[in-house]
Chains A and B, each alone.
Chain A
Amino acid sequence: MSEAFGGPHGAPVSNRVPVLRLGDVLLVTLQGDLHDSTAQQLQDDLAESIVRSGAGGVIMDISGVEIVDSFLGRVLAEIAAQTDLLAARTVVVGMRPAVAITLVELGLTLPGMRTALNTEAAMELLTGQAVSSHFGGPRRESQ
């Protein structure tokens, strides 16, 4: 999985978030402090990946994200709405407690956003079955 966090040669990905494919599900791991343009690029990339792969679900792991402001919150909500329109579902996993507390006070409630505590739970939610080891290694879907 370490492939998910770096570019082709392990260099940090600065302006594109990799989208990995795990069976019928696309896995996106957001980390660190995202530029506005990176978040927007991800939104476009994901729509394309869903259409191209026919994936039925998207898991957005935000456990590495230290803050979600109204800009990133809107991008997450738009990704969820957009995947709905493309007949897929998005589950956001791993929101840090400090981020959740802050979002409530900010007034961003993200209605309709599905969340799960971890990737396994999200996978179960999306595929309706317990996760076993039959998934092969992650395949790079776009980069």
Chain B
Amino acid sequence: MHTAAGSQARLPIRSDMDLVWVRQHVRQAAAQIGFGLVDQTKLVTAASELARNTLIYGGGGTMETEPLTDGGARGLRLTFADEGPGIADLEQALSDGFTSGEGLGLGLGGARRLVHEFAIDSAPGAGTMVRVTSWVGRPPRPREES
């Protein structure tokens, strides 16, 4: 698997205006790569959830977008990174309904359901990195698996 040429980008996440840019950028990148409307919407929604976490809990950070090719398959990878307080209990953070703030607690779990691949790397004091990848034309993963 390698990175496709072009369209790699890194966006700052420092304000709720930046959340708008993140959504617009992911929408454009996903459309360009060939994602259909529903899959674009899923990716943009996942990105919005993760970017808001980066902003609110991580104290700001960045999103990187990377178009991918794997054989004939085309995909988009989004990486959200911050140097905030990190997450002590990942399982708890990922469970639906858990929030340490004022949210609905659906961001991490929901984002995981909306994409094909989901990875999170975080530790107290060491910041948080969430990486999601989706592939054009691949069916959504089964509901139970999430």
Chain A residues packing against B (C-beta within 8 Å): 33, 35-37, 66-71, 73-74, 96-99, 101-102, 105-108
The residues of B that contact A67 with a CB separation of less than 8 Å are 23, 41, 44-45, 48
Closest Cβ–Cβ distance, residue B21 to chain A (whole Å) = 9
By the criterion CB–CB under 8 Å, are A107 and B41 in contact? no
The residues of B that contact A107 with a CB separation of less than 8 Å are 96, 106, 109-110, 113
Q: How far is the CA of A74 from the CA of B17 in the complex (A)?
A: 19
Decide yes or no whether B16 CB sits under 8 A from chain A. Answer: yes
5 A-B pairs whose Cβ atoms sit less than 8 Å apart in the complex: A33-B23, A35-B17, A66-B27, A68-B45, A70-B110
Binding site of B, secondary structure by majority: helix, strand, loop or mixed?
A: helix
Q: How large is the interface on B (under 10, 10 to 19, 20 to 34, 35 or more residues)?
A: 20 to 34
Decide yes or no whether B8 CB sits under 8 A from chain A. Answer: no
Best-surrounded residue of A36, A68, A99, A108 (most CB of chain B within 10 A): A36
Q: Mark B18-38, 1 if CB is under 8 A from A, else 0.
A: 011001100100000000011
Decide yes or no whether B61 CB sits under 8 A from chain A. Answer: no
Q: How far is the CA of A36 from the CA of B16 in the complex (A)?
A: 6
Q: How far is the CA of A14 from the CA of B16 in the complex (A)?
A: 13
| Residue in A37, A71, A99, A108 whose beta carbon sits within 8 Å of that of B41 in the complex | A99
Closest Cβ–Cβ distance, residue A77 to chain B (whole Å) = 9
Chain B contacts with A in 1-60, Cβ cutoff 8 A = 16-17, 19-20, 23-24, 27, 37-38, 40-42, 44-45, 48-49, 52
Decide yes or no whether B103 CB sits under 8 A from chain A. Answer: yes
The residues of B that contact A108 with a CB separation of less than 8 Å are 104, 106, 110
| Residue in B37, B52, B113 whose beta carbon sits within 8 Å of that of A105 in the complex | B113
Q: How far is the CA of A73 from the CA of B48 in the complex (A)?
A: 12
| Residue in A66, A71, A97, A105 whose beta carbon sits within 8 Å of that of B44 in the complex | A66
Decide yes or no whether B140 CB sits under 8 A from chain A. Answer: yes
Q: How far is the CA of A97 from the CA of B9 in the complex (A)?
A: 29
By the criterion CB–CB under 8 Å, are B19 and A106 in contact? no
Best-surrounded residue of B38, B40, B49, B140 (most CB of chain A within 10 A): B38
